[in-house]
Structure 1
């Protein structure tokens, strides 16, 4: 079976991209497509190295736990040029992240880049706002945007790479 790989990228890899990885992972797992030997492989990274090795923000961990999945074992890492060899889709949370990724992307892999919210036309924002300096309500708003886009990205991947796969996505 085909293996499709998806990388979510924000600035520090402790808020937005870990929540995106978790939401997408939960959706892919629910339909039986979260495997390294087949299906979809998912990861997240940051454009900076400041939080490398750290767990996601406690507010993101608490929110995703309340929603029924865990991101507590994820560890922040910095996005690398080599990620463009590994991943089929690289989704940036905002234009600053996208600009950084464009700067490290080998020319032949630039087509893999996009803003995450560009996949969810029903969302009227281009960028996922960074909730780091706000409270719980910012994380909840951020997650709602991410989750809508995660579903849209999964739908596109299913249509392109797994057209015969059942679509009992939650």
Structure 2
């Protein structure tokens, strides 16, 4: 699914990073908020390509940065990406190239058209990947939110 393809029929979006505790739950929270503001009724979730943090709440630094901007992380818990996700979701968005490769390794070949980089929708940005803020300082979490907000706005404008 390239960016020039219509996304108007999209009903569900899955955000994917590695551990599902920083980037993808932030994307889920931001996109859920922005979609609701625009009156879009979508099923929105997040998952990780690794299951090491399954059932954990998002990283406290992601929560702090996101909540400071008014985003709710209610009900968000880490889980591992499954093969069933590729049937269940219309659009599956990776935070970076490594996770896109991992997604394509799990995804049935016939459904790989659903897999894309999230920042493909942030057309005004040079950045193509959402960097993992886990090992950095607080500024990294704010930068991740800046990227996610830009890509969320771009994606919503294409779905509308």
Same fold (TM over 0.5): yes
Q: What are the residue-to-residue correspondences of 1:25-64 with 2, within 5 Å?
A: 25-33=32-40, 39-64=41-66
Kindly provide the CA deviation profile for residues 89-129 of structure 1, in whole angstroms up to 9, marking residues without a partner as x.
Answer: 00000011000000111122111010011111211011100
Say whether 1:8 aligns with 2:24.
Answer: no
* Cα distance change of structure 1 residues 5 and 77 upon mapping to structure 2, 3 Å threshold: same
**Unpaired stretches in structure 1, ≥5 consecutive residues:** 34-38, 159-170
Confirm or deny: 8 A CA contact 1:12 1:49 kept in the other structure: yes
Query: Runs of 4+ in structure 1 displaced over 4 angstroms?
Result: none
Shift of 1:72: 4.7
RMSD: 1.1
Any idea what SS the aligned residue of 2:15 has?
strand
TM-score, with normalisation over the residues of structure 1?
0.86
The one of 134, 137, 151 equivalent to 1:132 is: 134
TM-score, with normalisation over the residues of structure 2?
0.91
Any idea what SS the aligned residue of 1:9 has?
strand
Q: Tell me, in whole angstroms, the C-alpha distance in 2 between the residues paired with 1:32 and 1:115.
A: 24
Any idea what SS the aligned residue of 1:138 has?
helix
**Unpaired stretches in structure 2, ≥5 consecutive residues:** 1-8
Kindly provide the CA deviation profile for residues 35-68 of structure 1, in whole angstroms up to 9, marking residues without a partner as x.
Answer: xxxx211000000000000000001111111111
